[in-house]
Chains A and B, each alone.
Chain A
């Protein structure tokens, strides 16, 4: 699962910074059928967590109501330099993860 995650590389301490996440995933609703008429099972990314230096700051629990190739934008407080880690899992049990580093000044 390819993902694009945008995090500002530098931030000032205490700033609210925007995190944008876009993951390539069909987010199958379970209501579609393939060319042979057999139904395609539901398969969506049901959970995505964002951990900042090991502490979970944001979590999304999603259903089939989220569009294909889910996009999320949210904010966290820049506290310390370190690592942002993103982990997600879909209904088929396929997991993905991504990490970025951030430098906090001041």
Chain B
């Protein structure tokens, strides 16, 4: 129980990123190398766009072993414009990649609630990948 038992407040700053092809705004959110390469793996090098992803997480958590959070993505979920996946990254965790959620055809509202571990106060990042063929 070395890493996760800090009974301290967890200030979770919120950073929500959105991946959209055709939007030229690369590397707008510089993070550590590990996080950068994680995001790169998710996006496949596609540019990131801020917004449309809402990450609801308490600003102060009693216990880093279990922090509830919710990610809501603003997407019509039509065949031409839908969320393919949502990824959670906690940069200061020993393994920053927390989880990835994939949506197939037949998935409903692009929303996920879960409980995560956080090792210390940190910002949590949510990245959503959307298929958006009608983007101009």
Contacts and interface: CB of A to CB of B under 8 A. Distances in A.
Interface string A51-82: 01001111111111111101111111101000
B81 to A, nearest CB: 15
A59 B96 CA distance: 19
A70 B113 CA distance: 11
Given A29-B4, A58-B101, A74-B101, A68 B114 contact: no
Contacts of A58: 101-104, 107
B28 interface: no
A90 B93 CA distance: 20
B116 A65 contact: yes
A66 B66 CA distance: 8
B107 A68 contact: no
Contact of B66 (A31, A59, A67, A75): A67
B115 A57 contact: no
A13 interface: no
A16 interface: yes
Would you call the interface of chain A mostly helix, strand, loop, or mixed? strand
A32 interface: yes
A66 B3 CA distance: 14
Nearest to A60: B101
Contacts of A71: 113-115
B112 A72 contact: yes
A61 B100 contact: yes
A70 B117 CA distance: 11
B101 to A, nearest CB: 5
Interface of B: 1-4, 65-67, 88, 90, 93-118
The 9 A-B pairs at the shortest CB distance, nearest first, are namely A75-B108, A65-B98, A16-B108, A73-B113, A67-B115, A57-B106, A75-B109, A67-B66, A59-B102
30 contacts: A16-B108, A29-B117, A31-B2, A32-B2, A55-B104, A57-B106, A57-B107, A58-B103, A59-B102, A59-B104, A60-B102, A61-B100, A61-B101, A62-B98, A62-B99, A63-B98, A64-B95, A64-B117, A65-B98, A65-B116, A65-B118, A66-B115, A67-B65, A67-B66, A67-B114, A71-B113, A73-B112, A74-B111, A75-B108, A75-B111
